[in-house]
């Protein structure tokens, strides 16, 4: 799941300053699950913008819309009749959303309403933790199903650093040392000897370092 944080209201107000007709555009995908960009959050942000603009003597025209997803062209197409009639569209999807809307509607000024932070999972209600850096070459099966790239503060592939203690990372007592967890898990599975393997420097060309990535599935293309 892609996790994000809402931008401060004042930052959004500065972005749309001088733009009277505004659309707050939500997404029913990941950002709904992490409670920053779904239909409820669209309503909250739109109301806050109306109140703030009215207090400043500005036109409070703020419309609301939530798409099934902002990362699929078929849903972006639902805005065809209205998108370019707005002075500002505030996308509260992940970082893909404002880009897809901007690309489809080149005359529409689109602004991000959230900060995309990481790919993670829910630990508890209202709590998410990073689990993946989308490096493009998943190796978690060699590490007990745990990712040292995303979960080690130094992305170490060959065991823990010298700073961990008591199963915790040196950056803070609230952060588990993933290498401590990896060793424990591999020992429980009777596979601890596999950790003696020395991994070479990771080839990051499959990650973002190789440039913007694209995948084409010929079996799915129409």
| Residue 222 predicted with pLDDT over 70 | no
The domains found in the chain, sorted by start residue, are: 2-117 (3.40.50.2300), 133-200 (no CATH)
| Residue 212 predicted with pLDDT over 80 | no
Note the pLDDT tens digit of each residue in 59-116: 879 999 999 999 999 999 999 999 999 999 999 999 999 999 999 999 999 999 999 9
Mean pLDDT, residues 153-162 = 94
- Under the banding of pLDDT at 50, 70 and 90, the label for residue 203 is confident
Note the pLDDT tens digit of each residue in 15-53: 999 999 999 999 999 999 999 999 999 999 999 999 999
Q: How far apart are CA 9 and CA 1, in angstroms?
A: 24
3-state SS string for 102-129: HHHCCCCCEEECEEEEEEEEEEECCEEE
pLDDT at 99: 95
| Residue 202 predicted with pLDDT over 70 | yes
**Percent above pLDDT 70 for the chain:** 99
Note the pLDDT tens digit of each residue in 129-149: 999 999 989 999 999 999 999
| Residue 208 predicted with pLDDT over 80 | no
Note the pLDDT tens digit of each residue in 169-186: 999 999 999 999 999 999
| Residue 215 predicted with pLDDT over 90 | no
Note the pLDDT tens digit of each residue in 54-68: 999 988 799 999 999
């Amino acid at each position: 799941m892609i996790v994000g944080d809402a931008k401060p209201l004042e930052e959004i107000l500065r972005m749309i300053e001088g733009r009277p007709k505004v659309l707050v555009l939500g997404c029913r995908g990941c950002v709904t699950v992490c409670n920053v960009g779904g239909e409820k959050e669209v309503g909250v942000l739109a109301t806050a913008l109306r109140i703030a603009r009215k207090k400043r003597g500005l036109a409070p025209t703020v419309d609301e819309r939530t798409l099934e997803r902002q990362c699929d062209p078929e849903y972006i197409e639902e805005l065809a009749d209205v998108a370019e009639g707005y002075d500002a569209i505030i996308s509260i999807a992940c970082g893909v959303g404002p880009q897809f809307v901007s690309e489809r509607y080149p005359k529409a000024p689109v602004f991000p309403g959230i900060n995309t932070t990481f790919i993670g999972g829910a630990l508890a209600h209202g709590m998410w933790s990073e689990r993946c850096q989308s490096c493009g070459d998943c190796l978690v099966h060699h590490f007990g199903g745990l990712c040292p790239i995303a979960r080690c503060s130094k992305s170490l592939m060959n065991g823990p650093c010298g700073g961990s203690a008591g199963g915790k990372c040196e950056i803070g007592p609230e952060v588990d040392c993933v290498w401590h967890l990896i060793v424990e898990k591999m020992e429980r599975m009777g596979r601890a000897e596999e950790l003696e393997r020395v991994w070479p420097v990771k080839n990051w060309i499959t990650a973002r370092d190789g440039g913007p990535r694209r995948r084409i599935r010929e079996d799915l293309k129409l």
